[in-house]
Structure 1
């Protein structure tokens, strides 16, 4: 079955707005979101090959050297599905976009 990289994205301004909320509000969102995230993973366990994880700030290396960089990536996982559309449908109710201030989930096939 085809494998896909699912990358969680978040706009920096949405993250900043979330972190500007009072601590109690952030914790309330986290409590609901983490519970729903675990339930989502349980429902989709058969499709998840690598649970991946969340990622932090970006360091980029180019021909010109090493520098700090910015991108919308905040996490990833590896899944399998019949096709990209089926893979995308797994995420339609994901808490990254329904509870947390996530922007979206990008689905990319692994090429053979």
Structure 2
């Protein structure tokens, strides 16, 4: 993509994200944000690693399935070049905490 095409795609995507955020504002608990490079700490020490996580947001939903359905048609894979959104539950003793 040329720089001009990339800028246009970014503008389209950011507008779509704003629309998605507004449509789901009642479910969004924490807006999150982009994620940077990953360092993994293990018994072998600290190393730079690559994973597929690029951004995160925390939502509240009545079930894991319902949370996943919130992301159907999400701009991260309908506009931006990402291929999916992974939805993981927060495993806490009190889901309202």
Q: So what's the TM-score if we normalise by structure 1?
A: 0.79
Once the two structures are superposed, the pairs formed by residues 25-64 of structure 1 within 5 Å of their partners are: 25-64=5-44
Q: Which ranges of structure 2 fall in alignment gaps of 5 or more residues?
A: none
Q: Which ranges of structure 1 fall in alignment gaps of 5 or more residues?
A: 1-20
* Stretches (4+) displaced over 6 A: none
How far off its partner does 1:33 sit? 0.4
Which one has a larger percent helix, Structure 1 or Structure 2? 1
C-alpha distance in 2 between matches for 1:65 and 1:73: 22
C-alpha distance in 2 between matches for 1:31 and 1:77: 20
Q: Counterpart of 1:92?
A: 72
3-state SS of the aligned residue for 2:30? strand
Q: Counterpart of 1:22?
A: 2
Which one has a larger percent strand, Structure 1 or Structure 2? 1
Q: Counterpart of 2:61?
A: 81
C-alpha distance in 1 between matches for 2:80 and 2:88: 22
How far off its partner does 1:81 sit? 0.4
Q: Larger relative contact order (C-alpha < 8 A, sep ≥ 6)?
A: 1
3-state SS of the aligned residue for 1:96? helix
C-alpha distance in 1 between matches for 2:79 and 2:26: 23
